Amino acid sequence: MTAWLPDETTLHLGDGPRPHDHGGEGADIFAVLREQAGHQTAQVTAAGAAWLAGATAYPRSTLAQWESHPCAPGVLPCGSAFDVVNVPTLFGRRMLEHLWADGPGSGPVATHRGRMLLFASPGTAQRLPSLLDWEEWGSGPGTRSAGDSSAPDDGGPKVPPLLCHGAGDAVTVPPLTCGPSGSGPRWLVAPDTRSPWLPGPDVLLWACVRVARSAPAPSPRISIFPRPDQDANVYDVSRRR
């Protein structure tokens, strides 16, 4: 993982003075982030921006680009500073409920294109599918995602498709700042420190299984018609003249 840069060089790029008028074109976006941080979990702090940039090979260039375009999403590589587990939004929200109510919490979390991106510790992308398969919740050994199969294949609780992004992959991350009407990727739990806690594969496995097991069982179908004879012969009548 790229070594962190000192605070002053990370948060103040360039040598010239920077106006701090938030509406000016030359405003220091990282000064804005520092002032707005507070307790806003959906707002990236300057330290969080530095952590995200540390995932790249050139953190200074990444921070400079974000400073020039703070409302533009970025693309970051996985595998060094973090992995990402990509889940359907509804399932992901229920995972977060369990993680925060009954578990250790979560790391940064974002939404993008109807999916939820849970930032996890490096190595999670490789181990989580294997753990799901081992516990018979996955889609088979060697896969990168946990498919629609369930613990027993009998209509029981299921874990939806999980896309695990690790070394060699890249993900789109939300912009540092965006207006209330902004579209595209958004932070639900934004990075706010240089060393955010990230869940590992065992924690995410626990959350996946808790959600799947807490899903209501499908109600039995009741029909007023008698069941067809299971032993009746079936004939192909498509060729009848």
Token pair of 61, please? 């260039």
C-alpha 92/C-alpha 176 separation (Å) is: 22
Between 239 and 9, the higher pLDDT residue: 239
Least confident of 37-46, 57-66, 137-146: 137-146
Predicted confidence at residue 27, as pLDDT, reads 52
Rounded mean pLDDT of the chain? 75
CB 70 within 8 A of CB 215: no
Query: CA-CA distance, 227 to 224, in Å (whole number)?
Result: 9
Q: What is the DSSP string of 132-180?
A: HHHTT-SS-TT-SEE-S-BSSTTT--BPPPEEEE-TT-EEEE--S---T
Of 64-68, 149-153, 158-162, which range is least confident?
A: 149-153
Residue 56 has pLDDT above 80, yes or no: yes
pLDDT digit string, tens, across residues 189-219: 999 999 999 999 999 999 999 999 887 655 5
Which pLDDT score, from 0 to 100, does residue 218 have? 55
Minimum mean pLDDT among 1-10, 31-40, 137-146, 220-229: which range?
1-10
pLDDT at position 15 over 70: no
pLDDT-wise least confident of 7-21, 140-154, 188-202, 204-218: 7-21
Q: Please give the share of the chain, as a percent, with pLDDT higher than 90.
A: 51
Model confidence, pTM = 0.69
Q: What distance separates the 2 farthest-apart alpha carbons in the chain?
A: 89
Where does the chain have alpha helices with state H? Answer: 7-11, 29-36, 46-53, 59-68, 89-101, 124-134, 201-214
Q: What is residue 133's predicted lDDT score, i.e. its pLDDT?
A: 85
Q: What is the CA radius of gyration of the chain?
A: 23
**Residues near 79 by beta carbon (within 8 Å), at least 6 away in sequence:** 122, 125, 166, 167, 168, 169
Q: Check residues 211 and 2 and name the one with the higher pLDDT.
A: 211
Q: What is the residue type of 79?
A: G
The encoded tokens of residue 32 equal 């804005």
